[in-house]
Amino acid sequence: MRLRSLPAALAQGSNEDYNLYTFDMHALDTPVMVHIDHVSAVLDMAYSPTGKDFDKSIRIFPVDKSRSREVDHTKRMQHVICVKWTSDSKYIMCGSDEMNIPLWKANASQKLGVLTSQEKAAKDYNQKLKEKFQHHPHIKRITHHCHLPKRINSQIQEQRIMKEARRRKEGNRLKPSKPGSVPIVSEKKKHIVAVVK
């Protein structure tokens, strides 16, 4: 469980269903955001000092998105126990069973060091192109593509099959029933059992 006071009073909790839930402290009956990309129970989480970003890998989530923007992993990383952002928000450290403390760049593609004016102009131009064509299918595919270890890919595939089976079962349950008799529950509300006041 992590608390963030600025810009809003938010609490984030992890669960054994492989999801992270972000709640507004004033309305705990529905999560504000559900982060869903993990493939095993989440043991630790850390907020970026800027407050904008947030298995056997480290996933970086933008605060307002349910899908991760980056995945960091090594071949030997088996069990990530803790994560910590550096105070300048440029690096992430993690502790795992491999007995090392790797230092990851928060933005893996970001160049370190001083940029020349030509490099800065090229970077800005490329960023504007990405923003302009972000909804084009090929650009979206390239943006969301990331190389993952085989074990994580197989776990993702297994989860995808289970979710599809649940969705198909729900559809089959709704087909013969009268419209409106079976309530459709959103993904955010499915995991909330009760709110104690």
pLDDT tens column, 138-187: 988 888 777 777 877 888 889 889 989 999 998 898 888 888 888 888 87
24/47 Cα distance (integer angstroms): 15
- pLDDT for 123 beyond 80: yes
pLDDT digits (tens, 9 = 90+) for 1-52: 666 655 677 888 877 788 888 888 888 888 888 888 777 777 777 776 665 5
The Cα diameter of the chain in Å comes to: 66
Residue with tokens 């904008």: 52
Asked if 80 and 88 count as a contact pair (C-beta separation under 8 A), the reply is no
Instruction: Tell me what pLDDT residue 93 has.
Output: 86
- Cα torsion at 69, 104, 146, 3 (round to 10°)? -30
Is the pLDDT confidence value at 54 over 80?
Answer: no
Which domains does the chain show, CATH number per domain? 2-109+186-190 (2.130.10.10)
DSSP symbol at 147: -
